[in-house]
Amino acid sequence: MPSHTFVVYVEDRPGVLNRVASLCRRRGFNIESLAVGHAETPGVSRMTIVVETDAAGARRIEANLAKLVNVLQVQNITDVPTVSRDLVMIKVAADAAARAHLMQLVDVFRARIVDVAPRSVVIEMTGTEDKIDGFLEVLRPYGVLELVRTGRVAMVRGHVPAVRTGTAGEDTPADEATHSV
C-alpha cells in the first residue's frame, strides 16, 4: 500500500498529540512516522504524519482528523510538489583504519560527522528518505551501532494560504474550513 503524507496544524495544547495518535489507532491506521513541532504561528503546532493506506483510507483519515476539535487544518500533500526531509543520526563503528573511508562516503552523501570517539563516529544527515536509506545501505558493512531518525517533515513548494486562526462561528470559504462535526 502507498504512503500518504499529511500536514496537520493543531492547537499547541496538552494532550493533542494523544488525540491525533489515538484517532489513527482507533480507526485502524498505522502511523509510519509522525513529526511535530512549533509552526510559524504562536500557539500552533505542525505535524507531518505519514500513513500507509489507499486513497479511500487517506480520505477517511483526513476527514476524521479534521473533526478533532483541536485540529485547525489538515492537508494531504501526497500528490502536490513538496520538499520533504528526514534527519538521521547514525553511530558507526570506526577504528582508525575505517575512518578515512567513512569520511569519503560522508562527503559523497553530503552528510556530516558530528562526534568522533576512539572506536565510533556519529554521522548526521538530512535528506529524503530514499537518500538516507541509500546512505545507510553503504554504511551497514562498517557496523551501524545506533540509529535515530526524526521521521518525515514536509512542506509544500511555492505559495499556499496560511493556516486559519479565526474563532468559531466566523465565516470562511468552504474549501478552507475543517469541519468539527
Partner 1 sequence: MQGSPPIQAMTRTGAQILWECLLREGVTDVFGYPGGAILPAYDAMLDYPIRHVLARHEQGATHMADGYARASGRVGVAIATSGPGATNMVTGIATAMMDSSPLVCITGQVGSRLIGTDAFQETDITGITLPITKHNYLVTRADEVAPALREAFHIARTGRPGPVLVDITKDAQQASADFDWDAAAPRLRGCRPPAPPDPAVCARALELLNIAERPLTLAGHGLQLAGAEPALRALAERAGIPVATTLLGIGAFPASHPLNLGMLGMHGEAWVNQAVQEADLLVALGMRFDDRVTGNLKTFAPRARKIHVDVDPAEIGKNVRVDVGLVADLGAALAALLPGVLPVDRTRWLSRIHTLKGDAAVRDIQQLPDDGHLYAAHVMHDLWRATGGDAVVVTDVGQHQMWEAQYYRHETPRSLITSGGLGTMGFALPAAIGVRLARPDAEVWAVAGDGGFQMTMAELATIVQERLDVKIAVVNNGYLGMVRQWQEFFYGRRYVATPLVNPDFARLAEAFGIPAVTVRARADVVPVVRAVRARRGPALVEFQVEQEDSVFPMVPAGASLDEMIRRPSPIVETGADA
Q: Where on the chain is the footprint of partner 1 (CB under 8 A)?
A: 10-11, 15, 18-19, 22-23, 26, 56, 59-60, 63-64, 66-73, 164-169, 172, 174, 177-181
| Distance (Å, whole) CA 59 – CA 10 | 18
* Alpha-carbon distance values, 64 to 57, 164, 180 (Å): 10, 18, 9
Q: How would DSSP label each residue in 19-81?
A: HHHHHHHHTT--EEEEEEEE-SSTTEEEEEEEEE--HHHHHHHHHHHHHSTTEEEEEE-TTS-
Contact 137, 153 (CB under 8 A): no
Nearest distance from residue 71's CB to partner 1, in Å? 5
The CB-of-124 to partner 1 minimum distance in angstroms stands at: 35
Write down the least CB distance from residue 38 to partner 1, Å: 16
Closest contact distance (angstroms) between CB of 115 and partner 1 is 36
Distance CA(149)–CA(152), nearest Å, equals 9
CB closer to partner 1 out of 10 and 34: 10
Q: Nearer Cβ to partner 1, position 6 or 109?
A: 6
Output the CA angle 26-28-30, nearest 5 degrees: 110
CB of 155 to partner 1, least distance (A): 21
Instruction: Check if the beta carbon of residue 112 is closer than 8 Å to that of residue 156.
Output: no
Compare residues 70 and 126 and give the one whose CB is closer to partner 1. 70
Residue 141 or 166 with smaller CB distance to partner 1 = 166
C-beta closer to partner 1: residue 25 or 112: 25
